[in-house]
Amino acid sequence: MFNRISIFTGNAHPKLAKDIAKYLGGKVSPALVSRFSDGEVRVKIEENVRGKDVFVVQPTSPPVNENLMELLIMIDALKRASARRITAVIPYFGYARQDRKDQPRVPITAKLVANLLTVAGADRVLTLDLHAGQIQGFFDIPLDHLYAINVFVEYFSKKKLKNNLVIVSPDVGGIKMARAYAKRLSAGLAIVDKRRNSPDSTSAIHILGEVEGKNCVLVDDIIATGSSLIEAAKALKRSGSKDIYAAVTHGILSKDAVKRIENSDIRQLVITDSVPLPPEKKSPKIKVVSVASLLGEAIKRIHEERSISILFEF
């Protein structure tokens, strides 16, 4: 396979790229991605990609602007090197929370990023658990949207919590995702009714659903400061819940999120490796599960022009 495809990566998450390449039975292709003396991104593709099916693995996680510029410039370099097709593999799509005008005079940055990727030369995008599903419609090129649900379902199935388990959405907007988890795990469903004080602060009001005496799993797509999940866990504890877990696809964990999680009612936070977890953010309370095989299988099927819908089945 690796005589027909190439997998490249910038500096955002080289380990994930290596794990994906290993799943596919190959190695990450060599590329120089560094900085000029004035801080500008320097890229040089160090193998022949003419006529190849190329995949660039680069989550646009913090530092978002640096990683996004690396991705755009790598795509441009590959386009100019006559790659047959370029797929931007973006496990975490940054700026996804700015997907609409919810206030006067604010941008729709998710659409801007979609335009930048297309203009740079990307022919296709592969991403994971977008914050807002409608972002798929911002692209004028094919976009494959994967879900980490099967990775989490497999993990929690092994914990044998099924008979006493409730899946909890930390807000009304996450009901659809929580319902999918509840169906796969044959569990109950509950919702935390909350109000947002600011972009980084929330206060939980009450629980819709039966959680007393139950083990609960909070499900969400992104954890940044952790305020939403921590407030939701407090509300669940007040309502008589037993052990509280959290399953979140993208563990951004900004500011003092790790410390707050350690001091919270959450017994374990399970995240994927869609973004790297720095050593200073590691904690006994945080478990990382890999999506390398999920992304690797999707890449294989895209290259072979096969359906990826089977990846949504369990």
List the 215-223 sheet strands across, edge first. 201-208, 188-198, 165-169, 215-223, 244-251, 268-272, 286-289
Cα–chain center distance at 162: 25
Judge contact between 228 and 187, C-beta under 8 A.
no
Question: Which among 34, 213, 236, 228 is positioned nearest to 131, based on CA atoms?
Answer: 228
- Which secondary structure element, helix H or strand E, spans residue 247, and what is its range? strand 244-251
Quote the CA–CA distance of 227 and 195 in Å, as a whole number: 12
Structure tokens belonging to residue 268: 């374990």
Cα dist from 41 to 10, 70, 78, 293, 303, whole Å: 11, 6, 15, 30, 29
Question: Which among 92, 60, 125, 79 is positioned nearest to 308, based on CA atoms?
Answer: 125
Is 255 marked active-site?
no
Q: Which residues pair with 152 in a beta bridge?
A: none
Structure tokens belonging to residue 254: 């900004």
Q: Which of 18, 111, 194, 242 is catalytic?
A: 194
Amino acid at 252: I
SS3 content of the chain, % helix, strand, coil (to 5): 35, 25, 40
Structure tokens belonging to residue 243: 């052990």
Quote the CA–CA distance of 41 and 36 in Å, as a whole number: 6
Quote the CA–CA distance of 47 and 28 in Å, as a whole number: 11
Angle, alpha carbons 253-146-44 (nearest 5°): 75
Give catalytic residue positions: 194
